[in-house]
Amino acid sequence: MRDCRLVSQKFEIENSYTLEVAKAHGGYKSLEKLDQLSPKQCVEIIKESGLRGKGGGGASAGDKWSLMPQDSTKPSFLVVNCDESEPGTFKDRQIISKDPHLLIEGILLTSYAIQAKHAYIYIRGEYKQFQDILQNAIDEAYDAGLLQNCDITIHRGAGAYICGEKSALLESMEGKRGHPRLKPKQKECEWYFGNPTLVNNVETIASVPYIIENGAQAYRRFGTDESPGTMLFAMSGHIEKPGVYESEFGVSMLEYIHHFGGGIKNGKKLKAVIPGGASTDVLTADEVAKATLDYETLRNMGSALGTGGMIVMDEDVSMVEALKNLLEFYHEESCGQCTPCREGTGWSDKLVEKLLRKEATKDDINKLLEVADTMNGKTICVFAPAVSTVIQSFVKKFRDEFEMKL
Amino acid sequence: MIELSVNNKTYHAQEGSLLIDLLIKENIHIPYFCYHEALGADGNCRMCMVSIQGQKRPQIACDTIVKEGMVVDTQNESIKKIRTDILELELINHPVDCPICDQAGECSLQDFYMEYGLHNSQVSIEEKVKHAKKIDLGSDVMLDQERCVLCARCTRFTEKITKTHELGIIGRGDEAKVSTFPGRKLDNPYAMNVVDLCPVGALTSKDFRFSQRVWFLQTSDSVCHGCAKGCSIYVDHNKLKYKDDVIYRFRPRRNDAVNGFFMCDEGRLSYKDLQENRQERTVLNSQDIDEEKAIENVKNLIQTHKTSIAVIIDANLYTEEIEAIVSFSNSIGANVYSPLSVYIDEGFEDDMLKSSNRAANFKSIENLGIDTSFPKAERLFINFNHPHNFSAESQVNFLTHKRNNSGLTFPLASFVESAGTLMNEDGIEQRCEKILFKNNAVPTVLEYLKRIES
């Protein structure tokens, strides 16, 4: 496996979170490039690089940037999404605690490209200790005069998973209840208090300095044609060495698990992997053997790369209990705006609980699938569709385990 | 205008308008909870799903803008199945306490269930999420959180219409519920409109609840007489056998030219005045007097004081009544007045619907050129229900409500017991029909005049 550290290059260095150490190891060097680049050219470079949003959706970051008006009469804003709440996902906190200056550097480049004078970092409330590190880094950057063209403010969330959804995040930042907004009728940027706004994940922004400094083609040397570059993949669960390890796209999932994770814990057999945070379809061991870590392959397998946070489960795991664990989370976190999600997450949780109590009938399993179907594609945001496919993949791929509970 | 097809029929709609508005206007059945023409789309209930050709997934009509050539289907089997499924989810945590719910009979949830549901409950009462069932929000509004479908109409009303922001939704998922903010009450002059807005029995009127089953009520159109705005209203009343017709509530009636969808709480509760403290007998200085004899007395008084009579008119009477009084006054050579200052109530006015002029038909008084100052001293005053108490050597009063006054007093029909036209402060005319038929009918102005003139 090729070693490629574009975002995590300073993670192992002692005191990498300080400005002094960051600068000694090449921090903020990419800013020099801006003398020769217009904002529009920056957007073009990102477009050419094929950088994809690392928050889970995987849409082209360059396309998203192009939606920002270059000649807006209203102020433009950059919002960095650090509401990392997806179960099994813990990559952004590595960036803000190990190399916060890389994020600040990325923010300065991105703000220049979209002509924003103020950037916000929306951080989940539970990340207080990481927020402190990040705030120190921002203070250092202010003191060093790095933030003369762009202010950076950290906005702390109050602990709702849905606020990671970009429009709910903006509602929350506007001081309202974190409810996703109705989708716009055409492709357009986001709006923060009615002003054009770009919302990107921490890792996406942290990937920008490498691309600006080394060019789009340098980034494209890694990964596949359609999924270029690298990603901070992560592993949790029954793995010898859980953690965040950067790799290029397109590598074999199994190889990744063995190379970085040291294989399944205690030499047990692999049963299943949820590939990209909880909200992606579970893969069986057979599927894992065929999977590669890129958006296209996983989508073709009926799942998704998501946030790249793999939840690894060994042979001892009860898939019914695993699903119950996930559904409890969704039941708790559904924002309650749309009927199918508000009621469907609760009901499916209760149905699986009934299974675990061994009180369910075959009808209940069918009802569970029916509720999942009602949740799919009928809501404002993708929360309910994600829950829907999680339920369907668990029940369909491990149906015998569910029926054993009858 | 653009052309589109709904259920294989062609319709025309304004460019940029919402599909659901077209469906509502054309009476094409579409179930919905959260959408409201005054509050706009929120897209949370997901009931108004329709199929649109070329769209992979079903779309909600409230968040769909009409497009030229759009082909919409609102009634195919897959759409019906989706509505049934979503409705089932809406009901799993609903207490289904219709037998004791005030909304029964005018409840969207009930109607849609009869149409799309009709399934047995698969969730037992024990498994349902429990919430508070009797919260006094303030302003005569009661909240039952279990019945709520979280359509957010009430919260959007306090956010967008009154801008008072008293209501919000707290909690997430199936624990979400409507609530006031800690230590705050629902407290604005239009608060009770949330009762009408609520599509289910979650918000009920403290004043109306448990007083009548709505299917016993007869609904008639009328106009509120609380101020010069003249909000269009529904009067819900019920006449039990052998008993008198009783009004149970006023509700705002949509009239885009006058009040839109709403009315103020004071106007809404003003129905009570029509049934309390009414002048019921003909009296002379507080002593009962035969009506025929009293009419004779009036005629004699007019003869006696021929050259010194003032007629005073209440500016709440119907235009036809005012005109008749004016022509009667001319025939007996009396001066006509309708003192304005009595009606002015600056404290009542706001920038929504409430007017500082508390007379419903003052515009007609103005149009007829009637003197709006206080009457000069005369020997005989004939007062047609003007709220001020006048004193003169001789007095004749036609009053809807009891007051401390001397002279001859006749009971007068209230505005729901009579018919006529009103002109509001913006010059908009509205016709009111006679709604209430009492067992012992009280005469109207026109009936009295006929008898005096005969």
Q: Where do the domains of chain B lie?
A: 2-75, 90-205, 218-271, 283-453
| Non-local CB neighbours of B421 within 8 Å, separated by 6+ positions | B318, B319, B320, B429, B430, B431, B432
Closest CA to A311 of A333, A332, A329: A329
Q: pLDDT at position B378, please?
A: 82
Share of chain A above pLDDT 90, in %: 97
Q: pLDDT at position B274, please?
A: 92
Class of domain B90-205: alpha beta
Å between B241 CA and nearest CA of chain A = 45
Q: Is A284 exposed, middle or buried (0-12, 13-18, 19+ CB in 10 A)?
A: middle
Give how far the C-alpha of residue B430 lies from the chain's centroid of Cα atoms, to the nearest Å: 14
For B2: left if phi > 0, alpha if psi spans -120 to 50, otherwise beta; the answer is beta
Q: Which tokens in the block code for residue B211? A: 């007083």
Q: How many helices (H) and strands (E) does chain A have?
A: 17, 10
B43, B46, B176 ranked by CB distance to A336: nearest: B176
CB within 8 Å: A340 and B174: no
Specify the CATH number for B218-271; select among 3.30.160, 2.30.29, 2.20.25, 2.60.98: 2.20.25
Whether the CB-CB separation of A49 and A62 falls below 8 Å is answered with yes
* Average pLDDT estimate for B109-138: 88
SS (HEC) of B21-70: HHHHHCCCCCCCCCCECCCECCCCCCCCEEEECCCCCCEEHHHCECCCCC
Q: Is residue B79 less than 8 Å (CB to CB) from chain A? A: no
- State yes or no: pLDDT of B118 exceeds 80: no
- Measured CA to CA, the distance from residue A298 to residue A277 in angstroms comes to 13
- Measured CA to CA, the distance from residue A277 to residue A311 in angstroms comes to 7
- State yes or no: pLDDT of B117 exceeds 80: no
DSSP string, B286-337: TEE--HHHHHHHHHHHHHHTTTSEEEEE-TTS-HHHHHHHHHHHHHHT-EEE
A406: enclosing H helix or E strand: none
Q: Is residue A185 less than 8 Å (CB to CB) from chain B? A: yes
* Average pLDDT estimate for B85-112: 93
Closest CA to B414 of B290, B260, B244, B242: B244
Nearest CA in chain B to A367: B122
- State yes or no: pLDDT of B225 exceeds 80: yes
Share of chain A above pLDDT 70, in %: 100
- Measured CA to CA, the distance from residue B431 to residue B444 in angstroms comes to 16
Class of domain B283-453: alpha beta
3-state SS class at B352: coil
Q: Is residue B387 less than 8 Å (CB to CB) from chain A? A: no
Please provide the average confidence, as pLDDT, over all residues in chain B. Answer: 93
Kindly provide the ipTM of the predicted complex, given to two decimals: 0.90
Q: Which tokens in the block code for residue A91? A: 């990559």
Whether the CB-CB separation of B45 and B25 falls below 8 Å is answered with no
* Average pLDDT estimate for A213-223: 95
Q: pLDDT at position A185, please?
A: 87
CB within 8 Å: A336 and B127: no
State phi, psi for B248 to the nearest 5 degrees.
-105, -25
* Average pLDDT estimate for A124-138: 95
Pairing of strands A243-248, A230-237: antiparallel
- Measured CA to CA, the distance from residue B169 to residue A337 in angstroms comes to 10
Å between B90 CA and nearest CA of chain A = 6
What are the beta bridge partners of residue B422?
Answer: B430
Which residues in chain A touch residue B175, judged by CB atoms under 8 angstroms apart? 336
**pLDDT tens figures, A260-317:** 999 999 999 999 999 999 999 999 999 999 999 999 999 999 999 999 999 999 999 9
Q: Which tokens in the block code for residue B97? A: 């306490």
Q: pLDDT at position B376, please?
A: 86
pTM given for the model: 0.92
Domains detected in chain A: 19-220 (3.40.50.11540), 231-314 (3.10.20.600), 319-404 (1.20.1440.230)
* Average pLDDT estimate for B374-403: 90
DSSP H helical ranges for A50-114: 61-66, 92-98, 100-114
CB within 8 Å: B93 and A343: yes
Give how far the C-alpha of residue B174 lies from the chain's centroid of Cα atoms, to the nearest Å: 34
Å between B172 CA and nearest CA of chain A = 5
Which residues in chain B touch residue A378, judged by CB atoms under 8 angstroms apart? 46, 49, 57-58, 82, 86
Q: pLDDT at position B127, please?
A: 86
Instruction: Band the pLDDT of B248: cuts 50, 70, 90.
Output: very high
Q: pLDDT at position B393, please?
A: 87
Q: pLDDT at position A338, please?
A: 95
Give how far the C-alpha of residue A278 lies from the chain's centroid of Cα atoms, to the nearest Å: 11
**pLDDT tens figures, B64-93:** 999 999 999 999 999 999 999 999 999 999
- Measured CA to CA, the distance from residue A219 to residue A233 in angstroms comes to 17
Give how far the C-alpha of residue B316 lies from the chain's centroid of Cα atoms, to the nearest Å: 17
SS (HEC) of A173-241: HCCCCCCCCCCCCCCCCEEECCEEEEEEEHHHHHHHHHHHHHCHHHHHCCECCCCECEEEEEEEECECC
CB-based burial, A41-51: b 16+ in 10 Å, e otherwise = ebbbbbbbbbb
Please provide the average confidence, as pLDDT, over all residues in chain A. Answer: 95
**CATH no. of B2-75:** 3.10.20.740
Å between B174 CA and nearest CA of chain A = 5
Q: Which tokens in the block code for residue B95? A: 């207490």
Going by the DSSP 8-state scheme, the letter that residue B116 receives in this structure is I
CB within 8 Å: A346 and B93: yes
CB within 8 Å: A350 and B127: yes
Q: Is residue B151 less than 8 Å (CB to CB) from chain A? A: no
Q: Is residue B130 less than 8 Å (CB to CB) from chain A? A: no
B283-453: same fold as B218-271? no
- State yes or no: pLDDT of A190 exceeds 80: yes
Instruction: Band the pLDDT of B120: cuts 50, 70, 90.
Output: confident
- State yes or no: pLDDT of B285 exceeds 90: no
B199: enclosing H helix or E strand: none
Q: pLDDT at position B89, please?
A: 92
Q: pLDDT at position B453, please?
A: 85
CB within 8 Å: B57 and A377: yes
Q: pLDDT at position B176, please?
A: 94
Q: Which tokens in the block code for residue B173? A: 């998922």
- State yes or no: pLDDT of B259 exceeds 80: yes
Task: Give the CA diameter of chain B.
Answer: 87
CB within 8 Å: A335 and B173: yes
Closest CA to A280 of A297, A261, A268, A264: A297
* Average pLDDT estimate for B135-152: 94
Å between B58 CA and nearest CA of chain A = 7
For B391: left if phi > 0, alpha if psi spans -120 to 50, otherwise beta; the answer is beta
Q: pLDDT at position B391, please?
A: 86
